[in-house]
Amino acid sequence: MSARAQIGVTGLAVMGRNLARNFARNGFTVAVHNRSFGRTQSLVADHGHEGEFVASESLEDFVASLERPRKVIVMVQAGGPTDAVISSLVPLLEEGDIVIDAGNAHFPDTRRREAELKAHGLHFVGTGVSGGEEGALLGPSIMPGGSAESYEWLGPILEKIAAKVDGVPCCTYVGPDGAGHFVKMVHNGIEYADMQLIAEAYDLLKQGLGASAAQIGEIFAQWNSGDLESFLIEITAEVLAQVDVETGAAFVDVVLDRAEQKGTGRWTVQNALDLGVPITGIAEATFARALSGSVPQRAAAAGVLQGHAGQWDVTDREAFIEDVRLALYASKVVAYSQGFDQIAAASAEFGWDIDRGAMARIWRGGCIIRARFLDRITEAYERDEDLPLLLADEYFTGAVGNGVPAWRRVVSQAALNGVPTPAFSSSLAYYDGVRAQRLPANLIQAQRDYFGAHTYQRTDRPGTFHVQWTTDRTEVEA
């Protein structure tokens, strides 16, 4: 077996298959392997004309067909299956070879694997790949972590197959060890918030206007020509226009209202709790999926919990639609602002030195959250790479600020009329919380000191204090 493949993919389910095809279409000789050889053979039979594949039945032959340093992409189920494939690969590889996990792995696993393989003289690269099956084939957004040395070998190959925006690849080196999978995880958290906010906007238009799915789809299609232009708004317009062939009803009207999740949103929220970053929009979106699946609680509540809800009385249809659009845009910016705060906090925690502007730049194309306003976010971090709060950037203070009256009208009308908008509402609460001159956390500190002697600080002088609540209630310096 001559070692002539520049890149190899093991695991040829749809994502692995499409990545392999993307590499071949871009002129690379691609080594391909799958546990069942039949799938490898069918890939070459169906797509061998697209480029140069080197098919191997055994993992040994697969590894032997790769030029040094070997670059092996593992595209199997996250968790145990990935560990199993890595364990089989390590004895076959030599110093300097590179193992790439392009699945949605949990970043602590990636950090562990990177350390383990480093001990064998190997590079381990956890990379986010976003854009689904189509993105893998036509150009995803790629977020590789791992060693800087590995990127010297991998970068040119990944950048060639990545999506391009203004000729710039949607791929860049993210940072050491688990940084790449971390950024992909936050991407997915933002994706959850984006999708929840769109769903709430759809619900508001449906309940506020009595609009049909098709009518709402037309509204989203119009929104997609403005500041909200994005992949998720675009596909929402398409989904809402879809008719169910069997019933002739609007497709969304026959879809069960229970949202599922593979886990990346959950990981994002769990990590934010650990880091102490208030990603309220992403958290509410993740919990909204859980609520929708809380069948026993929803069954117990239906028809029993009193609503005391008003009736929508929208007199100016166009004004209401514009209010919802402004509220959606403002809430989206909050979700992205929170996500980038989480990236900054993790970068400091793990010493990754992640460039947030570069992350916004590679999210402009290929990925699920690709959107026109990612250009504005990129520009914001180009103005100040240490920007403490995206919402406070000179562009967004205006772009979001202009929508605040509408945001308040939408959230208050939703509450008055009994329409659940957890992401819209929590995003507005975050906006008011982060800009507040004084929060009621002073009372929480006082309560904590009362029952737990947890001490507090004062506004008028430095130090840490405690009141002797159980005796003379005098204040002492702790």
Residues at the site binding ligand 6PG, with contacts judged by CB under 6 A? 104, 130-132, 188, 191, 261-262, 264-265, 367-368
**How far apart are the C-alpha atoms of 354 and 107, rounded to whole Å?**
15
Sheet arrangement for strand 29-33: 52-55, 29-33, 7-10, 71-74, 98-101, 123-130, 141-144
**How far apart are the C-alpha atoms of 138 and 214, rounded to whole Å?**
29
Phi-psi group of 276: left, alpha or beta (phi > 0 → left; psi -120 to 50 → alpha; rest → beta):
left
Least separation in angstroms between residue 303's CB and ligand 6PG is 30
DSSP label of 5? B
Among 191, 200, 206, 332, the one annotated catalytic: 191
Tell me whether residue 362 or residue 410 sits nearer to ligand 6PG (CB atom): 362
Least separation in angstroms between residue 203's CB and ligand 6PG is 19
Is-catalytic flag, 284? no
List C-alpha distances in Å: 362 to 375, 441, 469: 10, 38, 55
Tell me whether residue 54 or residue 190 sits nearer to ligand 6PG (CB atom): 190
Q: What is the number of the residue whose Cβ is closest to ligand 6PG?
A: 130
Give the H or E element holding residue 99: strand 98-101
**How far apart are the C-alpha atoms of 252 and 116, rounded to whole Å?**
47
Least separation in angstroms between residue 183's CB and ligand 6PG is 11
- Residue 237: name the closest of 249, 227, 246, 250 by CA: 250
DSSP label of 70? P
Give the H or E element holding residue 164: strand 164-165
Distance of CA 46 to the CA centre of its chain: 33
Tally Cβ neighbours within 10 Å of residue 376. 18
Contact 191, 368 (CB under 8 A): yes
**How far apart are the C-alpha atoms of 190 and 265, rounded to whole Å?**
8
Least separation in angstroms between residue 266's CB and ligand 6PG is 8
Least separation in angstroms between residue 264's CB and ligand 6PG is 5
**Per-residue exposure over 41-72, b if at least 16 CB sit within 10 Å of its own CB, e if not:** eebeeebeebbebbbbeebeebbbbbeebbbb
Tally Cβ neighbours within 10 Å of residue 167. 5
Contact 72, 10 (CB under 8 A): yes
Tell me whether residue 269 or residue 414 sits nearer to ligand 6PG (CB atom): 269
Least separation in angstroms between residue 107's CB and ligand 6PG is 14
Tell me whether residue 81 or residue 96 sits nearer to ligand 6PG (CB atom): 81
Tell me whether residue 79 or residue 398 sits nearer to ligand 6PG (CB atom): 79
Tell me whether residue 123 or residue 181 sits nearer to ligand 6PG (CB atom): 181
Is-catalytic flag, 67? no
Tell me whether residue 262 or residue 383 sits nearer to ligand 6PG (CB atom): 262
Least separation in angstroms between residue 195's CB and ligand 6PG is 8
Tell me whether residue 89 or residue 193 sits nearer to ligand 6PG (CB atom): 193
Among 71, 114, 159, 184, the one annotated catalytic: 184
- Alpha carbons within 13 angstroms on the beta-carbon side of residue 208 total 29
Least separation in angstroms between residue 364's CB and ligand 6PG is 14
Tally Cβ neighbours within 10 Å of residue 382. 13
- The residues annotated as belonging to the active site are 184, 191
